[in-house]
Structure 1
Amino acid sequence: MNHPRDVPLASVPGIKLLIVDDLPENLLALSTIIAQEDRIVYQASSGEAALALLLEHEFALAILDVMMPDMDGFELAELMRGTERTRHIPIVFVTAAGKELNHAFQGYETGAVDFLYKPLDIVAVQSKVNVFVALRKQQDEMTRQMAALEQSQKELQATRTELRHALQMRDDFMSMVAHELRTPLNTLLLENQLRGIQLGRASTDAFGPEQLQRMVARDARQIRSMIRLIQDMVDVSRIRSGKLSIRAAVVDVSLLLQQIVSDMAHQAEVAESPISLQAPGGIRGWCDDFRVEQIIVNLLTNALRYGGQKPVTVSLVATPTQILITVRDQGAGIAANDQKRIFAPYERAGTNAVRDGLGLGLYIARQLAEAHDGTLEVESVAGDGARFTLMLPREEKTAV
């Protein structure tokens, strides 16, 4: 593969060879001898032109004519050996002078790997060039393999890091599960032991109607807490296995929100954060009412937990194609760098004063929203509360 002299062709693939001679006929002859399909032969008619090519390309071999005006082959070789970029390029000298001038000795002194005399032995020239081309191919293949090995090592290290992280998350998760389940179980156990002591003493006063009502309410709260934790773990397992089911139908979302806010009135009273609902009646959407309730209850629970004992607002807005449910609190807000993290599994954005649960609620809520072909997003400014918006489709999507 031949190219015009002094013309850089950096974008052409192949092993690059440089020939330098001040006579065009010598360049043409040598180029014809060494050219093959897997090579790119660059021609330079002077030392200056050769230097320009050497700065632009990576050559496997440079064949330099000794006798050239302005800058001879030896001077060019010395410049090449003095530059880091070109220091390791093999140099073969070509000369028409007799052996008695001892050019070969001077050539080897300047770092040449071989010396050729004119008229050139075509077979010998081709053989020598083939050796250097083969060496360069081996070097390139080794470089490629080393790069692939380095990439494999990086990928292996990344996999190890991910595995360590996964193992750490598993350990942290099991620790959280143990902690979160231990609290209600311990409460139930203590209550049970206390009642056993009272029954053993025949202390029936402790089991009057009011006392029994409080006992049942406390037991129910602890049992609901454990059920919620177990349900979260089941939902995460379904999400990861792709078995999360959505049973969508036409739902009166206005009525659903009224029921949710009513059901959470006692929890809001305990948290001293009243919940207000702004929802026009009769708005319907295409959704799974059980799963939507799960999302909204999670958002309201977080709003009551982190809302700083300030009012919480639930609002419903409808467009021709979507319904938007927004839960807004007036708490401390969520830092910008936490707003993506809180939707990851086992992440919690609580403070030292408020931090409980498994950190699965928002992760599950977003997955449930996306399973509806909807979205769940958060907007928050530090010190000005947080606003979570659930978008759901109004109508069933038909297959295209």
Structure 2
Amino acid sequence: MRANDPTKVLIVDDLAENLQALDALLRDEHRLVLHARSGDEALALLLEHEFAVAILDVQMPGMNGFELAELMRGTDRTRNIPIVFVSAAGRELNYAFKGYESGAVDFMYKPLDPDAVRSKVNVFVALYQQRNETRRQVAALEQSRKEQETLLAELSATQLELERSLRMRDDFISLVAHELRTPLNTLFLETQMRTLQLKRGNLAAFGPEQMTKMIARDERQIQAMIRLIDDMLDVSRMRSGALSIQPAPVELMGLLERIVSDLSLQAAGSGSSLSLVPHDPVHGRWDEFRIEQVIVNLLTNALRYGCGMPVEISVHLEGEEVRVDVSDQGKGIAEAERHRIFEPFERGSGNRDVKGLGLGLYISRQLAESHRGHLAVVPGPECGSVFSLTLPLNASD
């Protein structure tokens, strides 16, 4: 029942004039009086409406008032409705005692005292309204409690996320400072050495061979800083939705052969080797620069964590998709970490000594998804890990 609904009173009597008289006595603008001329009609109304009180005539043909009261007390829906019996029979029949036994709260004899009837009904209506108001308040309090619990849970989650963001920020600043300091320190030391050689007049230290080595060292340090800055810019573009993908025709095997050739010296330097399993040419539409970025990230990680063992690249054409697998024979990745390593600034727990911001796999997965593909990792057949880049052949659809 809603708060503004009128309170309902049920009157049951087989005589229409009695119903009209009671209706006129009890009805007001906030109260609705419903009539029933038999027990069956009363039961139908009881199943449809909620009543504050029921006034039952005892002597009715068919189902009498006592029998109707017993039925009302037998069901949960009507068990708690206050019942007031009325009867024209003499007091010597002791109907009042039987009425109270049937669960009535009051018994009145005809002719009825209008003030007494109105007063009794007003009391039951007031109690009914108080009970409903109490139920509404309890329901409102329960709803408020649930909303507060939800709000507290959201605040707790927000606080945890904020704390995580602050930790990530601090870790990020620390990582960037550490990763940039290394190439900057190397450049600074190189500059000091060259300044010292110039002050001593040792121009032989700047001969063609020495100068070539100096330039190569400087380029390596500068490239290292550029890679760090590019990674940070890529993450910023991805989070702001500003990363641009420009698909164009690409022959995948030729791209992979060039990447393997470019990284062969790095592989040899780490005591490892790169091999590309032969495959027929695979043509597709991708952003070649971004796909190269993903493959280079995967191969660089495989060389870092592959324990000096060979790294293999294989290509698998599957319908309208192509899969590139990068397999290493390192220590592998724990199952609990296989999802976490794709988050920004995350690395495997057993490889904290490896340099880097922990952005490579995050960027690679985002680039794969930008091509409507995906990047995943599974354990190798015997050891190590297999990173699989799956791409649709036409990423521009």
With the length of structure 1 as denominator, give the TM-score of the two structures: 0.72
For 2:305, the equivalent position in structure 1 comes to 306
Q: Which amino acid aligns with 1:377?
A: A
What are the residue-to-residue correspondences of 1:84-103 with 2, within 5 Å?
A: 94-96=105-107
Measured after TM superposition, the shift of residue 168 of structure 1 is 1.5
**Counterpart check, 1:336 vs 2:335:** yes
Identity among equivalent pairs (%): 42
Structure 1 residues 135 and 279: CA distance shift in structure 2, 3 A:
same
For 2:214, the equivalent position in structure 1 comes to 215
- 2:333 and 2:205 map into 1 onto residues whose CA distance is 45
Measured after TM superposition, the shift of residue 205 of structure 1 is 3.3
For 2:182, the equivalent position in structure 1 comes to 183
Is the CA contact 2:302–2:328 (under 8 Å) kept in the aligned structure 1? Answer: yes
For 1:268, the equivalent position in structure 2 comes to 267
Structure 1 residues 125 and 281: CA distance shift in structure 2, 3 A:
same
For 1:131, the equivalent position in structure 2 comes to 130
For 1:321, the equivalent position in structure 2 comes to 320
Q: Which amino acid aligns with 1:361?
A: G
Is the CA contact 2:316–2:323 (under 8 Å) kept in the aligned structure 1? Answer: yes
Measured after TM superposition, the shift of residue 214 of structure 1 is 2.2
- 2:79 and 2:269 map into 1 onto residues whose CA distance is 80
For 1:379, the equivalent position in structure 2 comes to 378
- Residue deviations 1:122-148 (CA, integer Å, cap 9, x gap): 333222211211221122112212211
SS in 2 for 1:121: helix
- 1:353 and 1:149 map into 2 onto residues whose CA distance is 42
For 1:121, the equivalent position in structure 2 comes to 120
SS in 1 for 2:345: coil
For 2:230, the equivalent position in structure 1 comes to 231
**Counterpart check, 1:194 vs 2:193:** yes
Root-mean-square deviation (Å): 3.7
- 2:83 and 2:257 map into 1 onto residues whose CA distance is 90
Measured after TM superposition, the shift of residue 25 of structure 1 is 6.1
- 1:128 and 1:350 map into 2 onto residues whose CA distance is 67
- 2:381 and 2:165 map into 1 onto residues whose CA distance is 31
Is the CA contact 1:380–1:387 (under 8 Å) kept in the aligned structure 2? Answer: yes
Q: Which amino acid aligns with 1:227?
A: I
- 1:252 and 1:44 map into 2 onto residues whose CA distance is 88
For 2:390, the equivalent position in structure 1 comes to 391
Measured after TM superposition, the shift of residue 203 of structure 1 is 1.9
Is the CA contact 1:252–1:283 (under 8 Å) kept in the aligned structure 2? Answer: yes
What are the residue-to-residue correspondences of 1:63-102 with 2, within 5 Å?
A: 94-96=105-107
- What are the ranges of 5 or more consecutive residues in structure 1 without an aligned counterpart? 3-23, 74-92, 99-116
SS in 2 for 1:356: coil
- 1:128 and 1:163 map into 2 onto residues whose CA distance is 51
Is the CA contact 1:96–1:119 (under 8 Å) kept in the aligned structure 2? Answer: no
- Residue deviations 1:265-291 (CA, integer Å, cap 9, x gap): 111111111000113242211101100
- Residue deviations 1:157-196 (CA, integer Å, cap 9, x gap): 2112211211111111111111111111011101111111
SS in 2 for 1:325: strand
For 2:368, the equivalent position in structure 1 comes to 369
SS in 1 for 2:246: coil
For 2:282, the equivalent position in structure 1 comes to 283
SS in 2 for 1:260: helix
- 1:144 and 1:185 map into 2 onto residues whose CA distance is 60
Report the number of matched residues.
330
Structure 1 residues 124 and 222: CA distance shift in structure 2, 3 A:
same
Structure 1 residues 96 and 397: CA distance shift in structure 2, 3 A:
same
For 2:250, the equivalent position in structure 1 comes to 251
Is the CA contact 1:285–1:392 (under 8 Å) kept in the aligned structure 2? Answer: no
For 1:17, the equivalent position in structure 2 comes to none
Which segment drifts farther, 60-69 or 276-285? Answer: 60-69
Is the CA contact 1:67–1:95 (under 8 Å) kept in the aligned structure 2? Answer: no
Measured after TM superposition, the shift of residue 28 of structure 1 is 5.1
For 1:157, the equivalent position in structure 2 comes to 156
- Residue deviations 1:15-34 (CA, integer Å, cap 9, x gap): xxxxxxxxx969959x86x9
- What are the ranges of 5 or more consecutive residues in structure 2 without an aligned counterpart? 2-7, 9-37, 54-67, 85-95, 110-115
SS in 2 for 1:313: strand
- 1:223 and 1:300 map into 2 onto residues whose CA distance is 21
Structure 1 residues 377 and 131: CA distance shift in structure 2, 3 A:
same
- 2:364 and 2:338 map into 1 onto residues whose CA distance is 14
- 1:356 and 1:387 map into 2 onto residues whose CA distance is 21
Q: Which amino acid aligns with 1:372?
A: H
- 2:162 and 2:69 map into 1 onto residues whose CA distance is 56
- 1:174 and 1:266 map into 2 onto residues whose CA distance is 31
Structure 1 residues 388 and 46: CA distance shift in structure 2, 3 A:
same
Q: Which has the larger radius of gyration?
A: 2
Is the CA contact 1:333–1:383 (under 8 Å) kept in the aligned structure 2? Answer: no
Structure 1 residues 342 and 264: CA distance shift in structure 2, 3 A:
same
Is the CA contact 2:371–2:395 (under 8 Å) kept in the aligned structure 1? Answer: no
SS in 1 for 2:105: strand
- Residue deviations 1:58-87 (CA, integer Å, cap 9, x gap): x99675999899x997xxxxxxxxxxxxxx
Structure 1 residues 180 and 381: CA distance shift in structure 2, 3 A:
same
